[in-house]
Chains A and B, each alone.
Chain A
């Protein structure tokens, strides 16, 4: 086991490494301020105004319920997507026939733009939270599907044979061979799906008026209130950063620590809609 001191040092390292990120964020705020001075409040409100507005909205009790609403929908859709994508992926990994059946479907689903799903889900579920959950689910499931399939398919490989040769008990086989193997396949995909789920959730809310952060953005747009719109965008960005740096990155270090210090290796998967 890793001694406590090393862990503490690692945690400090991580926090200290945050200065780089903070510096780059502050630089962005400076650019924002410059843009504001060049184009005026109607196009780009100043950071100060925006943060003040955000503060006021928070005090009014409008931000937190919206975050909870969006978070709940995004998380429900994400969990559903991971479950569906993971299970179907596992099936496809176990049986060649299932893979031949499911792989094209998954590719097709990946190819459908998220916005198309938004339109469909609005037609099917109206302006309810269900539309958001559904959209997030169908966009995140195919992301997980391929990795789960590949993970399960490659389980039965050389390492399993090695474990059999050394006659280790089943518990060790599952815990030391299967689980890390699956995690190394699934984790990047699940992280991508989680980041994706926020963005898709906000987008769906915006178009459906189903409440949450996206609804706030839509209202700001109707009122042509750029300050409010920017404040809502700040909320989304803050949530994304929090999920990335407080949840995913520490987990990634813990789970995929053995990939550390690979020269030129990209442990993070490209994200995006």
Chain B
């Protein structure tokens, strides 16, 4: 591993600095997945990664969270407590919903009563009842599982939230509801967030910065900032903005591949 590779934990003085991904390349075996990819995201902003299936979005997210070291390049951020919502909810089948939500709290110095109180609170936050809290993952619907996974991530009060297509198992109504919920939570806590999605409309609804990745091996095909405050983005705005983004040839090309494959 080259000495240039490191997950930097910057000093608190530079807390206003955000996420910096600098010329990251990675390969699984001979086939490169990421090639010289650079992205930055200011703190307290939401970045959306969008790109064709298999281009390396989940891989990049794992690097940001420190689960994977890039072969080359550098991922740096000042955040001490990242939290994941994985593409697959990844719940412990042998713990009920409440136990799963509290799982991450094992890493924190907290008493049992504090843990369960917080788990109870988060059940409510993601719209689950106390009864749902007693259920095991296989007794929950796909959408409920996804919400448990979200609650588990929020429970540790992260400073960096990494969401890998967290709404993909939800029906349209619930998806909109959860998007609104996550948006509110992010805004209320000023959480720096990276959200992976397949859905350009979702990206426009949620993001401050949209990063469009090319097909594998991924590099940044296009990048768009959205200035409008999240709360003010109504359906009309979202539609118009999606149209505007797709008018950009680089964006359209990167995303069109998805339609073909």
Contact = CB atoms under 8 A, between A and B. Distances in A.
Interface of A: 158-159, 161-169, 172, 176-177, 180, 184, 258-262
7 contacts: A159-B92, A165-B83, A166-B84, A166-B106, A177-B92, A258-B136, A260-B136
A158 B104 contact: no
Given A177-B92, A259-B138, A168 B86 contact: no
B133 to A, nearest CB: 14
Q: How large is the interface on B (under 10, 10 to 19, 20 to 34, 35 or more residues)?
A: 20 to 34
B257 interface: no
Contacts of A262: 138
B103 A161 contact: no
Given A165-B65, A165-B67, A168-B104, A176 B95 contact: yes
A262 B138 CA distance: 8
Nearest to A175: B106
Given A176-B103, A258-B136, A261-B139, A166 B83 contact: yes
A265 to B, nearest CB: 9
Contacts of A260: 136
In the A-B complex, the 8 residue pairs with the closest CB atoms = A166-B104, A162-B90, A180-B94, A258-B94, A168-B106, A172-B106, A258-B136, A165-B84
Which of B94, B96, B107 is the most central at the interface, judged by chain A CB atoms within 10 Å of its CB?
B94
A169 B107 contact: yes
Contact of A168 (B82, B93, B96, B107): B107
Contacts, number: 55
A261 B82 CA distance: 35
A166 B90 contact: no
A79 B103 CA distance: 34
B156 interface: yes
A158 B92 contact: no
A167 B90 contact: no
Interface string B154-165: 001000000000
A177 B86 CA distance: 17
B114 interface: no
A166 B92 contact: no
A6 B89 CA distance: 30
A interface majority secondary structure: helix
A242 B86 CA distance: 45
B199 interface: no
Determine which residue in A258, A260, A262 has the highest number of CB atoms from chain B within 10 A of its CB, and name it. A258
Given A176-B92, A180-B94, A258-B136, A166 B107 contact: yes
Contacts of B92: 159, 176-177, 180
B90 A159 contact: yes
Contacts of A161: 67, 90
Contacts of A180: 92, 94
Nearest to B139: A261
B110 to A, nearest CB: 12
Interface in B85-138: 86, 88, 90, 92-96, 103-104, 106-107, 136, 138
Contacts of A165: 65, 67, 82-84, 86
B106 A162 contact: no
Contacts of A168: 103-104, 106-107
A163 B67 CA distance: 11
Contact of B156 (A166, A169, A259): A166
Contacts of A177: 92
Given A163-B103, A169-B106, A177-B92, 17 more contacts: A162-B84, A162-B86, A164-B67, A165-B67, A165-B82, A166-B83, A166-B104, A166-B106, A166-B152, A168-B106, A169-B107, A172-B107, A258-B94, A258-B96, A259-B138, A261-B139, A262-B138
A193 to B, nearest CB: 22
A184 B67 contact: no
B103 A166 contact: yes
A165 B65 CA distance: 7
Contacts of A176: 92, 95, 103, 106
Interface string B55-96: 000000000010100000000000000111010101011111
B101 to A, nearest CB: 11
Interface in B140-189: 152, 156
A169 B84 CA distance: 17
A158 B94 contact: no
A167 B104 CA distance: 8
Contacts of A259: 136, 138
Contact of A184 (B84, B94, B107): B94
Contacts of B65: 165
A214 to B, nearest CB: 39
Given A168-B106, A176-B103, A158 B86 contact: yes
Nearest to B81: A167
A176 B92 CA distance: 8
